[in-house]
Amino acid sequence: MAFGATRIARQMLGRAIAYSEYGNPKQVLRCIQYPVQHCSPEELTVRFLASPINPSDINQIEGVYPSRPSMTTDLTPNTPSAVAGNEGVVEVIDVGSSLRDRWEPGQWAVMSTTNLGTWRTHLTTKPENLIRVDQYAFHNVQEAASLTVNPCTAFMLLHSAVKLQPGDWFMQTGANSVVGMNILQLARHFGYNSINIIRARPDAESLKERLRQLGATYVITDEELMQRSEMKKLVPKWTENNPPKLGIDCVSGRTATEMSKYLANSATISTYGGMSRQPLGIPVSLLIFKDLRFHGFWLTKWKDEQPSKFRDLVIQMQEYYRRDVLHSPDVDLVDVDANAEPADFLKPFTDSIGAHGKKVMLFHYDN
């Protein structure tokens, strides 16, 4: 009998963080308990090892994100609900009879699709919803748990809009975001140079040094960016009159507008976020006389349209971890007792939402 089948035969109760209405996560989230299903011949049963909390997860719960899971009665018969979370790493605990030539208990996998609901302990699902990964490729479990969003977004931002060559330059806002730090590590690997913009803060100098260690060529604050007379001298000097061909933006607003002024003719600005909540204002002269192009990138849409390419990209990112091209930026691991009472299972999640720094929920099981 499979290892997982032995566990499931004891009628395990899984736990999940779910919501039945949109709103403030601290108010609408609740913990539900559900029987862990024995998988059919064509299914796998997995348990979650770690699941990140990403900004898009919060936006889904608030009801303001374009992609949202359907609310069903699968786990809550009386009230339709959805399980929160989109990213995580799982361990296979039971394998359907028709899949045992390809899968076995103990293997790790990540999500191939969105809206599966990853803030939970257990899931029974079709294998096409998973991508098998090698646990030994990663330095720690949080790297595997965060494999499918930030590293993949970083790679696509560097490669989907402009074909950079070794020695070329790009600029990016929000360089100390998790995506930004992944971009820097990949850029170092590919031989790209960068001018990176961070928000002015008391610890700016130490943050600049940290980003340089990750691969940044130059780092400036948004306040320094606004010193136009100085920047007009520095950017040509730094780039040796080979201005950046790509701008990567997750801030928008005045910072993105100012960055655009230092890009090459016919350069592209690739936008993947708008943390300032301000519109992107571009002077008409940059469109007419510099022929700037604008490109938006949303990983969810791309992977829905290109599922096979997404699978290949995930495995490529895994190999970058194996080869030490990528390392996980600092995250806060938050312990979750997988067997806790509902209120105690919910608390680490609600405490982590809105807290400073990226959080990865680490599930602990009795065995």
Q: Which residues are catalytic?
A: 65
Distance CA 253, CA 110 (A): 35
The phi, psi pair for 59, rounded to 5°, reads: -60, -35
Count CB neighbours of 50 within 10 A: 24
Count CB neighbours of 255 within 10 A: 23
Report CA dihedral (221, 226, 230, 232) to the nearest 10 degrees. Answer: 110
The phi, psi pair for 100, rounded to 5°, reads: -75, -10
> Tell me, what amino acid is at 214?
L
In whole angstroms, what separates CA 32 from the centre of its chain? 25
Q: What are the E-state strand segments in the chain?
A: 13-19, 30-35, 44-53, 82-83, 89-95, 108-111, 122-125, 130-133, 169-172, 193-198, 218-221, 246-249, 268-271, 293-296, 332-337, 359-364
Structure-token pair, residue 286: 């940059």
* Whole-Å CA distances, 132 to 50, 156, 207, 314, 329: 15, 21, 35, 10, 23
Q: Which residues contact 240 (CB under 8 A, 6 or more apart)?
A: none
Query: Is the Cβ–Cβ distance between 47 and 365 less than 8 Å?
Result: yes
Q: How many CA atoms lie within 13 A of 144 on its CB side?
A: 24
Distance CA 73, CA 70 (A): 10
Structure-token pair, residue 308: 């096979």
